[in-house]
Structure 1
Amino acid sequence: MQANSAERQSLEAPSPMRVSSGLIHGLPEVEEASIFSQKDDEPMLFHGHYANCMEMNAPVQIVLDYMDAHRDWFPRCAHPMAIEPLSANGYALTIGQFGAFGYEVEPKIGLELLPQDHCVYHIQTIAIPNYESPGYSVDFQATMLLTETESQHTYIDWELNLEVAIHFPRFIHALPKSLVRSTGDRLLNQVVREVSRRLTRKVQQDFHTTIGLPMPKKGRH
């Protein structure tokens, strides 16, 4: 993912993604997020497990070479998210604005794509230097497994475990907990769905344009 040159500049989103509770729909391809019971003075913890697959019309080694060159393709594929390089494999991402009940957050998280090991990549949360998130924290742990078929297509199966802790303002705690729970579940799912769907499409298009091959037909063989 589930997305310029070696001296890349930050890509600022001209129209960042914005999601409110009124635009949320179900996410059938993933497990529903869940919320852990917390006291009012503690953050609410939302957790979701997500999985999907992306097909590439090329042998696995070509896909690995492309994935390893993420300093080139990730910033342009992640747009309109704002991207800042943190290290050779790390980035700070500003995802967009999300909210409900008049409370909004603009998540900014640090992610590191670890070097692949036997066709497996791991992505994990890292700290962003000199940045403290305002009222929330994110634990992002993802795995990508690349598998080549007999027809020399490559499938990237990815799984994501995501935990978000939010310190809600007092007026949110005055609302029914069941309402906050269901809204938070749907909002988390909507964020993951929108980002992963857009990033998957852009990465597929960028990869096949880069190597000069047509996009694969839909469906797993």
Structure 2
Amino acid sequence: MHGSGVDDIDHSAVFEFSTHFQGCMEMFRPLEQVEAYLKNHQQWFARCSEPMQVETLGEDGYIISIGQFGALGYSLIPKFAVMVSPPVDHFYDTHSVPVPGYTPPGYEVDYKAPMHLEEVAIEDTMADVTKFFRKHNLDQCPDRITQVHWDLYLDVKIKFPKFVTRLGNCIIQKTGDRVLSEIIKQISPRLTLKVQNDFHHQLGIPTLPKQSRKFNQVKN
């Protein structure tokens, strides 16, 4: 939407905000072992998603409440559902689905997070695997590890009350896009670290170095 004059605003208009991020986390184990862990997401997803509230939705779905966010004097407590499709050739598809029996009050969430696994030699990793194992006196340094690559696409449509739309389309659009990106920057790195820790701590491996995680916003 364009324009910032009050006279140009359609009070019934729906504003759409969007953001796109890419990331990668390394798991210091072979691909098959990492894939087995990720496929068993019922055992770790809710725990690693805290402090977000998560309810299960069937065998492969979750209803997520991320807490209260807002700007311009208006706030929401977004709730949406995601479905985690079984992997095909090490590719995963996670996407939003309707929350059964729930009508979002004035907003709509479209979430897509394709992900794929790649096994790489330790010479091609982001972190220095050999140095890490030596530093922590760990045995059996692997020859190959797994990189988990992902994209996150998030689009949110919101119908604002009149007191917000009077501020002008340009202000609303810029603020909404910024807030949406800030939400992802708060949630995604925290979730990545928790999943990475959950996997490795079960194996007696301490927290991996920061270099083993990559997270960037993709600018359009």
TM range (shorter): 0.7 to 0.9
Report percent identity of matched pairs.
38
Over aligned residue pairs, what C-alpha RMSD do you find? Answer: 1.5
In 2: Cα distance, 1:39 partner to 1:46 partner: 17
Q: List structure 1 runs of 4+ shifted beyond 4 angstroms.
A: 36-39
Label 1:179 to 1:139 Cα distance change in 2 as closer, same or farther (>3 A).
same
Q: State TM-score, norm by structure 2.
A: 0.80
Which stretch shows the higher mean deviation, 104-113 or 147-156? Answer: 147-156
Is 1:62 aligned with 2:33?
yes
> Which residue, 120, 134, 147 being the options, matches 2:105?
134
SS for the counterpart of 1:50 is strand
Is 1:122 aligned with 2:93?
yes
> Which residue, 203, 206, 218 being the options, matches 1:214?
206
Q: How far 1:162 moved relative to its partner?
A: 1.3
In 1: Cα distance, 2:203 partner to 2:32 partner: 13
Is 1:81 aligned with 2:73?
no
> Which residue, 160, 165, 186 being the options, matches 1:168?
160
Label 1:160 to 1:39 Cα distance change in 2 as closer, same or farther (>3 A).
farther
Aligned residues of 2:73 and 2:164 also touching (Cα < 8 A): no
Equivalence for 1:144: 115
In 1: Cα distance, 2:110 partner to 2:192 partner: 21
In 1: Cα distance, 2:210 partner to 2:165 partner: 45
Label 1:179 to 1:209 Cα distance change in 2 as closer, same or farther (>3 A).
same
Aligned residues of 2:23 and 2:149 also touching (Cα < 8 A): yes
Equivalence for 1:98: 69
In 1: Cα distance, 2:164 partner to 2:104 partner: 19
In 2: Cα distance, 1:40 partner to 1:119 partner: 46
Aligned residues of 2:16 and 2:156 also touching (Cα < 8 A): yes
Q: Alignment length, in residue pairs?
A: 185
Letter of the structure 1 residue corresponding to residue 151 of structure 2? E
Q: How far 1:155 moved relative to its partner?
A: 0.9
SS for the counterpart of 1:46 is strand
Aligned residues of 2:27 and 2:146 also touching (Cα < 8 A): yes
Aligned residues of 1:57 and 1:215 also touching (Cα < 8 A): no
Equivalence for 1:72: 43
Equivalence for 1:27: none
Letter of the structure 2 residue corresponding to residue 65 of structure 1? A
SS for the counterpart of 1:216 is coil
SS for the counterpart of 1:116 is strand
Q: State TM-score, norm by structure 1.
A: 0.80
SS for the counterpart of 2:175 is helix
Is 1:181 aligned with 2:134?
no
Equivalence for 1:204: 196
Alignment of 1:10-29 (within 5 A): none
Give deviations 1:102-133, integer Å, cap 9, x for gaps. 10001101001100111111101111111111
Q: How far 1:147 moved relative to its partner?
A: 0.7
Q: How far 1:166 moved relative to its partner?
A: 0.2
Q: How far 1:214 moved relative to its partner?
A: 3.4
Q: How far 1:39 moved relative to its partner?
A: 4.2
Unaligned runs of 5+ in 1: 1-35
Aligned residues of 2:17 and 2:176 also touching (Cα < 8 A): yes
Give deviations 1:2-47, integer Å, cap 9, x for gaps. xxxxxxxxxxxxxxxxxxxxxxxxxxxxxxxxxx458431210112
In 1: Cα distance, 2:210 partner to 2:187 partner: 20
Aligned residues of 1:56 and 1:215 also touching (Cα < 8 A): no
Larger radius of gyration: 2
Alignment of 1:36-55 (within 5 A): 36=1, 39-55=10-26
